[in-house]
Chains A and B, each alone.
Chain A
Amino acid sequence: MERKEHIISILVHNKPDVLARVAGTLGGKGYNIDSLCVNTTTQKDISKIVMTTAGSQSTITRIENQLQRLVDVISVDDLTNVESVHREMLLVHLNISPDNADMVKNAIDTNRWKVIVTSDTYTIVEITGDQTQIDFALARLETLDVADITRTGLVALKLDD
């Protein structure tokens, strides 16, 4: 069966250990979490977990069923085959030297990266986009002097239907 990346959006009661329960359910059954994002929703006692995991459709269904068994899980939604928007974010620390100052400036301008902090010797930029855009940015960054990088997990939101 075809293995495919799935985006799973999980609403949970914001109880102690809830992330450990969700992560442990997948880990304990032998499934891998590729990326993960968690925060509260507009209701502070309810959190949303968005994660990506790869597997065949039957594996994903099994994961959904296992997650539904958890007492603190309210709902599990597979956003893969529904219309939804996706974003990830990179924070990148770029070293600046006389040799590459123009290149860095050029990259920032042409890619419309958002500069958060800048000085003579370094700059920190914020890059957001969907997976393709992030992958493109990462390729572009390979030509620059990256000192440090942090990438968030993917967040996704279902379009109204």
Chain B
Amino acid sequence: MKLKGTQILLEMLKQENVDTIFGYPGGSVLDIYDQLYQSDIKHILVRHEQGAVHAADGYARASGKVGVCLVTSGPGATNTVTGIATANMDSIPLVVFTGQVPTGLIGNDAFQECDITGITRPCTKHNFLVRNIDELASTIKEAFNIARSGRPGPVLVDLPKNVMAAQTDFDPANVKFRNYDVPHKAAPKKIANIFDMLQTAQRPLIMTGGGVLLGRASEELTALAKKYRIPVTGTLMGLGSFPGSDPLWLGMLGMHGTYYANMAVSHCDLLIAVGVRFDDRVTGTIETFAPNAKIIHIDIDPSSINKNVTVDLPIVGYTKATLQDLLHFLDDHHYAQDDDTRDVWLREIADWREKVPLTYCSEGDVIKPQYVIETLHRMTGGDALITTEVGQNQMWTAQFFKFDKPNTFISSGGLGTMGFGLPAAIGVKCAHPEKQVVDIAGDGSIQMNIQELATAAQYNIAVKVVLLNNGFLGMVRQWQELFYEKRYSHTDMTYAPDFVKLAEAFGVVGLRATRRDEVESVLKQGLASDKPVLMDFRVSREECVYPMVRPGESITQMTLGSREMIN
């Protein structure tokens, strides 16, 4: 069967079970868009290519599938770079198709030409320039395979216009490709080592990360913790991998971690770190991180092990398979923790929790951002998919929304990309139209991809934006307050659009709350709507995220806001 390149692309997308793609047309992809016109694949037209990648990213995180986007060459392609780097840092499987000028013009500085494979080489898991129609089908298959295998990541496929217009024989049942899946299974000896270490440990702690969600190992991790009463802390990316309302959950650790999580990690004698990479925001100064602990590190990527923190037992393996093996081994060997020792450890943690709980001060009529998030959690019963922007909004969400289920917290952790939340929410809602999807935003971040309100309006993708509007680039202002004697250099964002009017101009419902007693009714109205809604909460302007560990300090050195610093 002879098919055109554009037809092969769509056939291959079907073969990969792609039902939704996010994109933006242009000169080099006109032929592909012409083919799409006759296809039943759902295409969401974004308003900026960065939005397309974040939407595909949100779709991937919420659905567990590979997210797909399609953009044109040159500026269309370069606009995807921030989105690709975001997905790369958080190991999200994406396939990004970019148009390219005809092969004969590559290198000639043709109109809308750029070397996008060169530009994205350091921020993709892999990329391809398809130079020949005969390589098209196998390259697409490889791209999907690479994106989802091992430690997932974004793959870019550059498609020159003439290649897509050419024809070749295509046999969908017989597309050859190289398989990259890495069959990692932890050696039984290592599992036995964990058993030994658990037997001697008196103060064990589990630290869960994004690898547990990507590896779909939440069930196993939760079983391990609950069965043997091991307390659990998590990184930002690990939120939702263990139920946030469980008494064993200590909340996030690190720079804005809870007091008790940071104290627990600093006092534990065994740290079982699963699917984490020991980011500097998590560890504080490395020398004093978990100083008393033997560290077990389970991760699929050998390059993550011993990179930042030197560990005692490195285990390269899929988080799910490794934890399953561990659970079986512990069961077979009748591991039983000493209940008295465990009680002492859990009591100690409970004391830290009582001493410095995660809290904030209410001030009369003023809306506290934390209050908005708590109220949102209460009103949704936690049954919502939450995306965030980056900064204070993100940290307050991590602290005050209790995530009970995997893949319900969707945020740019590694790269910290402002402007992620709204387009990501659109992608999430496309994956789960029946779910309540909320972007918790700040007034700085939301303006970075505000144009995507038009996308939400066009397709009636009923995402809800909870805007914590403090008229500042809040997190930068917080650093200026704490470390630069309140010299608020270029962080005042008071000059901003009227967000309610702006929402309405986009065809989105706009609501506003300026007093605490309005929060609940605005949320109620916003959440009940079957349309996209932007809720503008005018929150206290100079609220800080606490606890806070100063950069370069030990995570036991927390600034607690109005309370004094506690060692």
Interface residues of A (CB under 8 A from B): 16-17, 20-21, 24-25, 28, 58, 61-62, 65-66, 68-72
Contacts and interface: CB of A to CB of B under 8 A. Distances in A.
A21 B146 contact: no
Contact of A58 (B125, B180, B303, B306): B306
Interface of B: 117-118, 121-122, 125-126, 129, 131, 146, 151, 180, 301-303, 305-307
26 contacts: A16-B129, A16-B131, A17-B117, A17-B118, A17-B121, A20-B118, A21-B121, A24-B121, A24-B122, A25-B122, A28-B122, A61-B306, A62-B306, A62-B307, A65-B302, A65-B303, A65-B305, A65-B307, A66-B303, A68-B303, A69-B151, A69-B303, A70-B126, A71-B146, A71-B180, A72-B126
Of B126, B303, B306, most A-chain CB atoms within 10 Å = B303
A66 B125 CA distance: 11
Contacts of A70: 126
Rank and list the top 8 A-B pairs by shortest CB-CB distance, nearest first. Answer: A65-B303, A71-B126, A28-B122, A65-B302, A66-B303, A69-B303, A24-B121, A71-B146
Contacts of B306: 58, 61-62
B166 to A, nearest CB: 19
B94 to A, nearest CB: 15
Contacts of B301: 69
Nearest to B155: A71
Given A61-B306, A62-B307, 4 more contacts: A17-B117, A17-B118, A65-B303, A71-B125
B237 to A, nearest CB: 19
A70 to B, nearest CB: 8
A55 to B, nearest CB: 14
A146 to B, nearest CB: 37
B152 to A, nearest CB: 12
B311 to A, nearest CB: 12
A61 B305 CA distance: 10
A28 B124 CA distance: 13
A63 to B, nearest CB: 9
A81 to B, nearest CB: 18
B282 to A, nearest CB: 19
Contacts of A17: 117-118, 121
A72 B125 CA distance: 11
A72 B146 CA distance: 11
Contacts of A61: 306
Contacts of B122: 24-25, 28
A71 B179 CA distance: 10
Given A71-B126, A71-B146, A20 B303 contact: no
Contacts of B118: 17, 20
Contacts of B117: 17
Nearest to B129: A16
A8 to B, nearest CB: 15
A21 B306 CA distance: 23
A57 B129 CA distance: 36
Contacts of B305: 65
A25 B126 CA distance: 12
A155 to B, nearest CB: 26
Contacts of A24: 121-122
A116 B126 CA distance: 44
Contacts of B146: 71
A24 B118 CA distance: 10
A151 to B, nearest CB: 28
B400 to A, nearest CB: 36
Nearest to A69: B303
Nearest to B310: A58
A72 B302 CA distance: 17
A127 B395 CA distance: 63
Nearest to B302: A65
Nearest to B125: A71
Contacts of A69: 151, 301, 303
A144 B275 CA distance: 61
A1 to B, nearest CB: 12
Contacts of B131: 16
A72 B128 CA distance: 11
A107 B286 CA distance: 56
Contacts of A25: 122
Contacts of B180: 71
B24 to A, nearest CB: 26
A68 B302 contact: yes
A123 B117 CA distance: 44
Nearest to B307: A62
A62 B129 contact: no
Contacts of A28: 122
B278 to A, nearest CB: 13
B350 to A, nearest CB: 39
Nearest to A29: B122
B303 A62 contact: yes
